[in-house]
């Protein structure tokens, strides 16, 4: 009987070790280069499994990592804490820390030095913090988030970074809120628009910004994930419209090696 129990214990231990290796290293390495598999693994299988096991959500776990490891009032340490969490603990759909996406966003914000910014899609506030950190004094950043659970977490992340004075987070759909920007939020036009929400909303929201007169000559649109998951109708429109001058930046899907890109488009009026 002791021998049997020992064999059973070894089998269970070996099985558990194998599952851990598969979960922690093998499967993530295998899906690194494949867009569909990477999103299925990280954004469906792992997220749902951890939600059940921890009785929490990924945004809540991300906020916990910020509170544990970031210095309150230090936005750069908040960005580092989220990057570290996403690279080593649990993947999440942020702009990401690699030389590509995060640095492209930073360089565009620095180059434009905008007085007014619109961010479409806050999620947990990662890119909001990156943008707000680089804004000149007195600049206004309005960020729109459709999901109230995400908005709740993002407010706390932004507050932890000490940026609540610079950021106006509004809950609701972009299609409903964009037409209210002038009368409700006192914005004449946006110097920079960062599109990082539902990919099928990129094109209709861009046309809505045009119709509402919220783009002026020189306004810059920066759209993330235009290759993966992708927004082909937006790319076709923005690259062929005489109203825009576009430039493509190659990058990777957040924290993977899947090919992706950002599209920077200057509104010519």
* Tokens linked to 19: 């599952």
Count the neighbouring beta carbons within 10 Å of the beta carbon of residue 211.
11
Q: Out of 191, 205, 254, 263, which one is annotated catalytic?
A: 254
Q: Examine the residue annotation and report whether 254 is marked as an active-site residue of this protein.
A: yes
Q: Out of 97, 191, 224, 260, which one is annotated catalytic?
A: 224
Report the C-alpha gap between 69 and 66 in whole angstroms: 5
Q: Out of 196, 205, 260, 263, which one is annotated catalytic?
A: 196
Q: Examine the residue annotation and report whether 233 is marked as an active-site residue of this protein.
A: no
Q: Examine the residue annotation and report whether 119 is marked as an active-site residue of this protein.
A: no
Q: Examine the residue annotation and report whether 196 is marked as an active-site residue of this protein.
A: yes
Q: Out of 145, 199, 205, 260, which one is annotated catalytic?
A: 199
Report the C-alpha gap between 50 and 47 in whole angstroms: 5
- For residues 80, 82, 86, 89, the Cα torsion angle rounded to the nearest 10 degrees is 90
Query: In terms of DSSP bridges, do strands 244-252 and 140-145 run parallel, antiparallel, or are they unpaired?
Result: unpaired
Report the C-alpha gap between 52 and 120 in whole angstroms: 29
Q: Out of 225, 260, 263, 264, which one is annotated catalytic?
A: 225
3-class secondary-structure state, position 76: helix
Q: Examine the residue annotation and report whether 199 is marked as an active-site residue of this protein.
A: yes
- Positions annotated as catalytic residues are 196, 199, 224-225, 254
């Amino acid at each position: 009987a002791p021998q049997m129990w020992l064999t059973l214990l070894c089998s269970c231990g070996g099985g558990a070790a194998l599952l851990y290796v598969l979960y922690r290293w093998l499967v993530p390495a295998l899906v690194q280069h494949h867009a569909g598999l990477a999103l299925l693994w990280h954004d469906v299988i792992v997220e749902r499994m951890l939600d059940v096991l921890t009785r929490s959500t990924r945004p809540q776990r991300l906020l916990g990592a910020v509170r544990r490891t970031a210095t309150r009032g230090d936005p750069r340490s908040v960005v580092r804490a989220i990057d570290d969490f996403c690279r080593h603990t649990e993947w999440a759909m942020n702009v990401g820390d690699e030389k590509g996406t995060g640095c492209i966003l930073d360089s565009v914000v620095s180059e434009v030095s905008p007085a007014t910014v619109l961010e479409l899609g806050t999620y947990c506030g990662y890119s909001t913090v990156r943008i707000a950190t680089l804004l000149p004094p007195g600049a206004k950043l309005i960020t729109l988030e459709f999901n109230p659970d995400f908005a709740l977490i993002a407010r706390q992340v932004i507050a932890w970074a000490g940026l609540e004075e610079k950021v106006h987070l509004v809950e609701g759909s972009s299609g409903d809120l964009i037409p209210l920007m002038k009368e409700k939020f006192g914005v004449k036009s946006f110097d920079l628009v960062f599109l990082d929400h539902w990919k099928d909303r990129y094109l209709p929201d861009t046309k809505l910004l045009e119709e509402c007169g919220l783009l002026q000559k020189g306004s810059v649109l920066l759209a993330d994930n235009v290759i993966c998951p992708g927004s082909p109708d937006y790319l076709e429109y923005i690259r062929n419209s005489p109203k825009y001058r576009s430039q493509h930046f190659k990058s990777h899907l957040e924290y993977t090696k899947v090919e992706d890109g950002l599209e920077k488009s200057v509104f010519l009026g």
